[in-house]
Amino acid sequence: MNSAGGLIGFWIIALLTLHAANLGETNYNFLNEPNVPFPPARPTVRNLAAICHCGQGRPRYLASFFPSSGASHFRRRGSAINRLESWYSLCCSGQVAHSSSQILCCARQAAKGDARWMCFNSELPNPNYYPVPDYTAPKVPLEPGFTFNPYAC
């Protein structure tokens, strides 16, 4: 009987582990809503290196991340984060901005102005732009709609 009890215990633990594992599907919070951490933090001297060097380690929110119906609020959040990450990659690439002060200025312009920072200064889920461990963002096209103005720095 001991070996049968051990085998049953093994299967229970295995099933619980698989149930709790993140298998690349949509993560939901306690209200059963997709987990899209928002708002993003303001680019600063302190988090600029992480913005530029850890971008592929931060989530992107493709259509498959969301349930087929509802969640439009979370889809808009995901789209905003995807757009911002795309524009950050442009700023950090060296194609439009060259010095660190220009890259910071570009990242701030990508985040669309000072008015939004009032909202973005409280309850930030990832103010340092840390990457998600063992995550690599999928390839997404560059989002249109952003042009860096070096004279606005």
- Taking only the tens of pLDDT, the chain with its 153 residues reads 455 555 555 555 544 444 433 334 445 555 567 788 888 888 999 999 999 999 999 999 988 888 888 788 888 999 999 999 999 999 999 889 889 999 999 999 998 865 555 655 666 888 888 999 999 999 888 899 999 999 988
Work out the number of other CB atoms within 10 angstroms of the CB of residue 76: 12
Model-wide pTM > 0.85: no
What residue numbers bound the domain in which 109 lies?
Answer: 40-152
Q: Is residue 21 part of a domain?
A: no
Please report the beta strands in the chain, taking only residues with DSSP state E, as ranges in sequence order: none
Q: Is residue 16 part of a domain?
A: no
Q: Is residue 31 part of a domain?
A: no
* E strand or H helix that includes residue 107: helix 100-110
The number of domains in the chain is 1
Q: Is residue 122 part of a domain?
A: yes
Q: Is residue 54 part of a domain?
A: yes
Q: Is residue 25 part of a domain?
A: no
Q: Is residue 28 part of a domain?
A: no
Looking at residue 139, the DSSP 8-state letter turns out to be: P
Whether 150 and 98 have beta carbons less than 8 Å apart is answered as: no
Separation CA 50–CA 129 (nearest Å): 6
Q: Is residue 18 part of a domain?
A: no
